[in-house]
């Protein structure tokens, strides 16, 4: 059923791309050629697509799930990261050079000749290498800044080990609860639980100690993380050595509360590979 | 008199909006071509493979049938394969880094007044305009 409607939507999308002229590279390049013989057709295409979609978002806002029962996508974290800007600039450059973006590249594949095939293959290669380029981009923007807030959702962020001096910035970023997911045994003494707790509470942060042993996460760990998140009045900031354990324990504590794809896909944006947990999450959802 | 191309653009745009609406209201997903395809390429879309493949198949087959019925369609793409390869790489890398392209950020993002979608669209339009001006009018490349 899902696939049937996906195919229908894809078909209408493809037909719309062809009819509108988006598969004609001269029209796309003409639209971008502001200093030459400018072609405004694409403004009609975008306008024609955005108006019905704006109405649809209004309709969707009244619902929790789609007609097939999938939770509707939440408004993404409004954070503007460097990947978004750099990626969009690169995409715009490529779009101008060939006059094709991903949708029309697929829709025109049957009649686009070798040029279209080569474009699609190059695009697939680009998509394959993109994750490797994302990691250096997502490192903190300020030179010398050690802290790296990785907002998995607007209300939950993870980070590698923080220093006591990072706490004011965490507080200033709006986080109200700090979760330490590292056992003391693996941390230098000046960053131990007691020191972190004192510094966090001095700033008015709620501090939760939930030590997770790498590879040996317990049900109690998962429950404690979930309880701390549920009890928090504001966004939660959790850290461990890399942010991986804080991501895993978050994903497991949210099993069934969010789509499994999101529980895996959101941490993946920061390089945390949770795909291996899919079976465990699905089993938790069923039980 | 409005040029017929603009009317075709508007009609095609409405169909794109309809397709995006259907994908959101029925399947509960954001219709972004680069995301649907990219999830298959880098493995982040495992578990939703059937839905993605079905969407892409529809997007490929329906225009193919229409093009056949009307006696062919043209992309008028450049014959310079070095430019095509560079462009494809840039589009592939860029849309995955930005988590979206014209459909995801442009259509679905702007219509929702999403700050990320709006910023992304401004960035790729500006970059596209600058590259077009440089590559066409300064270098005569395209």
Give the strand pairing for A206-209 and A177-180.
parallel
Query: Which parts of chain A register pLDDT below 70?
Result: 77-78, 138-146
Alpha-carbon Rg for chain B in angstroms: 17
The token pair at A161 is 């080990």
The reply to whether residue B74 touches residue A123, judged by beta carbons under 8 angstroms, is: no
The token pair at B117 is 């979608």
Exposure string over B105-134, b if 16+ CB within 10 A, otherwise e: bbbbbbbbebbbbebbbebbbebbbbbbbe
Pick the closest to residue A235 from A81, A79, A84 (CA basis). A79
Q: What is the pLDDT of residues A209-229, one digit of tens each?
A: 999 998 889 999 999 999 999
Structural domains of chain A in order of their starting residue, each with its CATH number: 2-68+79-138 (no CATH), 150-286 (3.90.190.10)
- The helix (H) or strand (E) run that includes residue A208 is strand A206-209
Q: Which residues of chain A have a CB within 8 Å of the CB of B125?
A: 32, 92
Per-state percent for chain B, helix, strand, coil, to nearest 5 = 75, 0, 25
> Does the interface ipTM go beyond 0.90?
yes
Query: Which of B60, B64, B95, B140 should one mutate to test binding to chain A, selecting the residue with the greatest count of A CBs within 10 A?
Result: B95
Q: What is the pLDDT of residues A166-197, one digit of tens each?
A: 898 899 888 999 999 999 988 888 899 999 99
The token pair at A239 is 């850290």
Nearest-by-CA chain B residue for A87:
B94
The token pair at B49 is 């493979």
Q: How far is A187 from chain B (nearest CA, A)?
A: 33
Give the separation between CA A264 and CA A282, rounded to whole angstroms: 11
Q: Which residues of chain B have a CB within 8 Å of the CB of A18?
A: 12, 63, 66-67, 73
Q: Which residues of chain A have a CB within 8 Å of the CB of B118?
A: none
Q: What is the pLDDT of residues B69-125, one digit of tens each?
A: 999 899 999 999 999 999 999 999 999 999 999 999 999 999 999 999 999 999 999
Q: What is the pLDDT of residues B42-74, one digit of tens each?
A: 888 878 899 999 999 999 999 999 999 999 899
Q: Check: CB of residue A145 under 8 Å from CB of residue A162.
A: no
- The helix (H) or strand (E) run that includes residue A61 is helix A41-61
Q: Check: CB of residue B107 under 8 Å from CB of residue B31.
A: yes
Query: Which of A94, A108, A110, A133 should one mutate to test binding to chain B, selecting the residue with the greatest count of B CBs within 10 A?
Result: A94
Q: What is the model's pLDDT at position A138?
A: 67
Q: Check: CB of residue B80 under 8 Å from CB of residue A98.
A: no
Name residues whose C-beta falls within 8 Å of residue A40's C-beta, 6 or more positions apart in sequence.
Answer: A31, B6
Q: What is the model's pLDDT at position B1?
A: 63
Give the separation between CA B133 and CA B137, rounded to whole angstroms: 5
Q: Using the 8-state DSSP alphabet, how is residue A178 labeled?
A: E
Q: What is the model's pLDDT at position A65?
A: 85
The reply to whether residue A91 touches residue B107, judged by beta carbons under 8 angstroms, is: no
Q: What is the model's pLDDT at position A144?
A: 41
On the CB side of A266, CA atoms within 13 Å amount to: 24
Q: Check: CB of residue A28 under 8 Å from CB of residue A95.
A: yes
Give the separation between CA A93 and CA A80, rounded to whole angstroms: 20
The partner residue sitting opposite B47, judged by closest CB among A46, A84, A261, is A261
Query: Which of A48, A54, A60, A67 should one mutate to test binding to chain B, selecting the residue with the greatest count of B CBs within 10 A?
Result: A48
The partner residue sitting opposite A16, judged by closest CB among B19, B102, B119, is B19
Q: Using the 8-state DSSP alphabet, how is residue B133 labeled?
A: I
């Amino acid at each position: 059923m899902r696939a049937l409607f996906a195919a229908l939507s894809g078909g209408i999308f493809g037909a719309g791309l062809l009819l509108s002229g988006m598969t004609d590279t001269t029209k796309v390049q003409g639209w971008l050629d502001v200093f030459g013989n400018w072609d405004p057709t694409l403004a009609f295409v975008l306008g024609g697509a955005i108006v019905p979609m704006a109405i649809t978002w209004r309709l969707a806002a009244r619902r929790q799930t789609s007609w097939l029962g999938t939770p509707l996508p939440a408004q993404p974290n409004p954070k503007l990261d460097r990947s978004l800007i750099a990626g969009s600039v690169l995409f715009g450059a490529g779009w101008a050079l060939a006059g094709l973006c991903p949708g029309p590249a697929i829709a025109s594949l049957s009649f686009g000749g070798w040029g279209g095939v080569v474009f699609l293959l190059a695009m697939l290669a680009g998509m394959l290498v993109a994750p490797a380029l994302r990691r250096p981009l997502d490192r903190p923007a300020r030179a010398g800044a050690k802290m790296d807030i990785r907002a998995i959702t607007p209300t939950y962020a993870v980070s590698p080990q923080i220093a006591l001096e990072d706490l004011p910035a965490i507080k200033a970023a709006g986080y109200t609860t700090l979760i330490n997911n590292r056992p003391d045994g693996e941390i230098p003494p000046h960053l131990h639980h007691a020191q972190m707790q004192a510094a966090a509470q001095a700033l008015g942060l709620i501090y939760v100690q939930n030590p997770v042993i790498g590879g040996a996460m317990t049900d109690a760990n998962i429950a404690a993380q979930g309880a701390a998140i549920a009890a928090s009045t504001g966004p939660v900031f959790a850290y461990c050595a890399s942010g991986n354990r804080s991501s895993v324990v978050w994903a497991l504590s949210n099993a069934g509360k969010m789509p499994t794809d999101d529980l895996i896909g959101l941490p993946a944006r920061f390089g945390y590979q949770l795909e291996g947990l899919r079976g465990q999450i699905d089993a938790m959802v069923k039980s | 008199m409005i040029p017929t191309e603009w009317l075709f653009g508007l009609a095609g745009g409405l169909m794109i909006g309809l397709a995006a609406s259907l994908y959101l209201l029925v399947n509960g997903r954001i219709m972004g071509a680069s995301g649907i395809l990219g999830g298959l390429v880098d493995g982040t879309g495992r578990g939703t493979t059937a839905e993605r493949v079905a969407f892409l198949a529809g997007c490929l087959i329906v225009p193919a049938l229409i093009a056949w019925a009307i006696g062919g369609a043209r992309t008028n793409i450049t014959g310079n394969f070095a430019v095509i390869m560079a462009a494809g790489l840039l589009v592939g890398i860029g849309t995955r880094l930005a988590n979206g392209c014209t459909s995801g950020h442009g259509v679905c993002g702007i219509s929702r007044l999403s700050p990320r979608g709006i910023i992304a669209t401004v960035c790729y339009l500006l970059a596209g305009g600058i590259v077009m001006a440089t590559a066409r009018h300064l270098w005569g490349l395209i």
